[in-house]
A and B are shown apart, each in its own frame.
Chain A
Amino acid sequence: MDVLMLSRLQFAMATMFHFIFVPLTLGLSIMVAVMETMYVRTKKDIYLRMTKFWGKLFVINFVLGIVTGITLEFQFGTNWSRYSEYVGDIFGSLLAIEATVAFFMESTFLAAWIFGWKKLSPKMHAACIWIVAIASNISAVWIILANGWMQNPVGYVIRNGRAELDNFFEVITNPFAWGQFFHNGFAAFMVASFFVMGVSAYHLLRKNEVEFFSKSFKMGLIVAFIFSILVAAQGHHHAQTVAKMQPEKLAAMEALWDDHPDGAPMYLLAIPDEKNEKNSVEFLGLPGALSFLAFNDFDAPVKGLKSWPKEERPPVTITFLAFRIMVGLGTLFPLLALWGWKNRKKLTENKLYLRIMLFSIPLPYIAIWAGWAVAEVGRQPWIVYGMMKTSDAVSPIATSQVAFSFIALTTLYTLLGACEIYLLARFARRGPEPEKA
């Protein structure tokens, strides 16, 4: 393996591991903030206990998000130095702004929240978790603006042998990036709501703290209900943006090889065969369906992968499968939420549903990983779409260096991941502190 492949694997591994923790942070921070606000307003002990229990799980999750985030910032310089030099003028400034406007706030006020139960007034304490929640989401805005710029570079000129900023406003209003931000943000609520429902289901199945976990479950259910619909609707909208701005990604998402000047079909089942530039199996084609979904018109022309030279096509199988996993799960979520909604009055009686929800905790994580795989793998061979190839971006470093760091980081992350799951599971199972007498 060469430096390029190792660097790509390392970046993918580090990003995906980081992204286990981030979406739960984004969604759960807001849910905990709502719980604490309800406590401040009503003074009911149950809301305080909810805040403490879910807050504890939130904090256990948060710390790994932080420490693994540093890796990501460092990696642009260590492994992608040619990229950093070429686009730092724009990309680097977005990361630097993220740190100054959001990350400081997030880290400082989370510490104030964790350690401030006795030192701060209840209102001030609740304000701290709101600041954490808002800052986390602002942080996501800047990070996704940076990624969105790699997907759809805007507001730049090529000057002095690099991409230089020309219009900051265009960079921060990049429609592609905002589409990604909302899609991600809504998906983060899915992760958080399924986490809350799954953990609650575990306790409800055991009739443990029924009032506490029914309330928690219902809160998760409301969030899941709203955001499962939003994420699907907005996802459809974002896919249309992709169809317009990155047609070869769309073609890879659908494994569409040939041009369809008067309407492209969609296959319910297909197995891409990249070597022979066709699908080895195509089953149940709906005529014009892809054209309609992508362009609201059954007859709209759609370009196939063969329109691009081989070396400018994204890997088809991964993009195609990841897209199907994401969409499949995205269709399942509103159904699960609807089922729960119909059962909301007698949650404890429907054991099957509770069991399903317990085992559904990983599903939104898988969906969100698959979604990022579509976005990132589907952008290949470009690191910045249409501007710079990934193979031109890698650092001039020795293979042995990257092999060492890849093995070391993978080993470390595996151990940390195991500790994290163990601790989360232990504290989730233990349940809330007993009620005050």
Chain B
Amino acid sequence: MLESIWFLLWGLLWAIYFMLDGYDLGLGSVMPFLAKDEKDRKAIYKSIGPFWDGNEVWLITAGGVTFAAFPKAYAVMFSGLYTALMLLLIALIIRGVAYEFRGLVESDWARKLWDKAMVLGSVLPGLLLGVAFANIFMGIPIDENGVFQGNLFTLLNPYGLGGGILFVLLFAQHGSLWLAVRTHGELNERAGNLAATIWPVLAAVYIAFLALTGVYTQLLSNYLAYPALMLILLIPIFAIVKVRTLIAARKWWKAWAASAVLIVSTTLFGVIGLFPALLPSSINPAYSITIHNAASSQLTLKIMLTVALIMVPIVIGYQFWMHKVFATKITDEDLGY
């Protein structure tokens, strides 16, 4: 029972991470399409400045919870996806530093350099996370000792790449909508238009990815076994339609929220399909890492659950406060003009 609760929390933590870091990574990756001049770029940095770090802690927590609740899954996932994770790490380091250093350097060339670092450090995590999760959905070559029999290129299969592109697009739309929320005037216009341009591409990739999911993965078997679960599938479909109508209505906060629901429900769709496996083995289902062979002791799961039930609502509370106070429309005065 505790294992199953932790499995759901595990999925939920990753979903929240994608929802939150998704908008800052997404906005970072579309920055070249949105910024015409230095003032625009300043506004873009300003719009994510107070949030990216707090958002990224959800990754640390999701990683930490994988470690604490399912140590074997953590060990196999992180060592198996070694090179992909190292690239993710390097990308996240570069973009974290870019936020800070970009505001401190004073020469034009240095600013341009950090802008490039920012874009690269924002696109890459979305791509890598998408590739990694698509491969997890599909199953990776794990042998009977939990050793990954493959390399980085094993992960770059059509379904994995599809997952990568899907994540980049989900984040890009999410980020554009975030900028629309935070700005007035021309920049707001451009951000909204970009979100509208991304939408049909995203919708097409989304449908294609769902179709490929049926072909490449076993995710649907849980849904076929319990048809009532199919209702969950309606949430992302509803959300993706809602994103379009809310963009058309120019209701930015609501469009952003619908995009957040889309990201969370897409992740949970995959996670529920995985249950009870955390890492299916593509070599032999008997080698899969599941909640039964990877979970921590009951005592650890109980203590961790107590901590999570107390602390996570508090964290959500102050991060909500943070967004409420700081995610206001950016004015010229804020930018020093």
User: Which residues of chain A have a CB within 8 Å of any CB of chain B?
Assistant: 59-60, 63-64, 66-71, 73-74, 76-79, 81-82, 84-93, 95-101, 103-105, 107-112, 114-116, 119-120, 159, 162, 164-166, 168, 395-398, 401-402, 404-405, 408-409, 412, 416, 419, 423, 427
Contact = CB atoms under 8 A, between A and B. Distances in A.
B86 A405 contact: yes
Contacts of B49: 111, 114-115
A126 B20 CA distance: 27
22 contacts: A60-B104, A70-B56, A84-B71, A87-B71, A90-B300, A93-B303, A96-B64, A96-B67, A99-B64, A100-B64, A100-B315, A101-B311, A104-B315, A104-B319, A111-B53, A111-B54, A119-B325, A395-B79, A398-B151, A402-B82, A412-B94, A419-B97
Majority DSSP secondary structure for residues of B touching A: helix
Contacts of B53: 66, 107-108, 110-111
B74 A103 contact: no
A70 B89 contact: yes
A78 B88 CA distance: 12
Majority DSSP secondary structure for residues of A touching B: helix
Given A70-B60, A98-B64, A77 B322 contact: no
A405 B82 contact: yes
A84 B64 CA distance: 11
Nearest to B293: A160
Contact of A76 (B67, B72, B82): B67
Given A67-B92, A104-B315, A423 B104 contact: yes
A81 B76 contact: yes
Given A71-B89, A78-B79, A95-B67, 6 more contacts: A63-B100, A73-B63, A89-B297, A100-B312, A108-B319, A116-B325
B54 A107 contact: yes
Given A71-B89, A93-B300, A100 B311 contact: yes
Contacts of A86: 71
Interface of B: 49-51, 53-54, 56-57, 59-61, 63-69, 71-72, 74-79, 82-83, 85-86, 89-90, 92-94, 96-97, 99-101, 104-105, 145-147, 151, 296-297, 299-300, 303-304, 307-308, 311-312, 315, 318-319, 322, 325-326
Q: Which 4 A/B pairs are nearest by Cβ-Cβ distance?
A: A88-B71, A77-B78, A92-B67, A96-B64
B297 A95 contact: no
A285 B100 CA distance: 53
A93 B299 CA distance: 11
Contacts of B297: 89, 159, 164-165
Contacts of A97: 68, 304, 307
Contacts of A77: 63, 66-67, 74-75, 77-79, 85
A419 B78 contact: no
A79 B57 contact: no
Nearest to B72: A85
Contacts of B145: 396
A407 to B, nearest CB: 11
B86 A70 contact: no
A190 to B, nearest CB: 26
B89 A74 contact: yes
A74 B78 contact: yes
A109 B317 CA distance: 13
Contact of A112 (B50, B63, B86, B101): B50
Contact of B82 (A69, A395, A409): A395
A25 B76 CA distance: 33
Contacts of A109: 318
B296 to A, nearest CB: 4
Nearest to B95: A67
Contacts of B151: 398, 401
Contact of B296 (A93, A404, A405, A419): A93
Contact of B74 (A92, A105, A409): A92
A408 B88 CA distance: 12
Contacts of A107: 53-54, 56-57
A86 B297 CA distance: 12
Most chain B C-beta atoms within 10 Å of own C-beta, residue among A74, A168, A408: A74
A96 B318 contact: no
Contact of B65 (A96, A120, A405): A96
Contacts of B68: 88-89, 92-93, 95-97
Most chain B C-beta atoms within 10 Å of own C-beta, residue among A63, A79, A159, A423: A63
B211 to A, nearest CB: 33
B82 A397 contact: yes
A401 B78 CA distance: 13
B71 A89 contact: yes
A396 B318 contact: no
B97 A95 contact: no
Contacts of B74: 76-77, 84-85, 88, 92
Contacts of A81: 75-76, 78-79
Contacts of B99: 63
B60 to A, nearest CB: 5
Nearest to B94: A412
A96 B61 contact: yes
Contacts of A162: 71
Contact of A85 (B75, B299, B304): B75
A88 B296 contact: yes
A408 B300 CA distance: 36
A64 B67 contact: no
Most chain B C-beta atoms within 10 Å of own C-beta, residue among A85, A86, A97: A85
Contacts of B325: 112, 116, 119-120
A97 B310 CA distance: 11
A64 B100 CA distance: 9
Given A74-B78, A104-B54, A92 B296 contact: yes
Contacts of B322: 108, 111-112
Nearest to A77: B78
A119 B296 contact: no
Given A81-B75, A84-B75, A85-B75, A74 B326 contact: no
B57 A99 contact: yes
A104 B296 contact: no
Contacts of A104: 54, 57, 61, 311, 315, 318-319
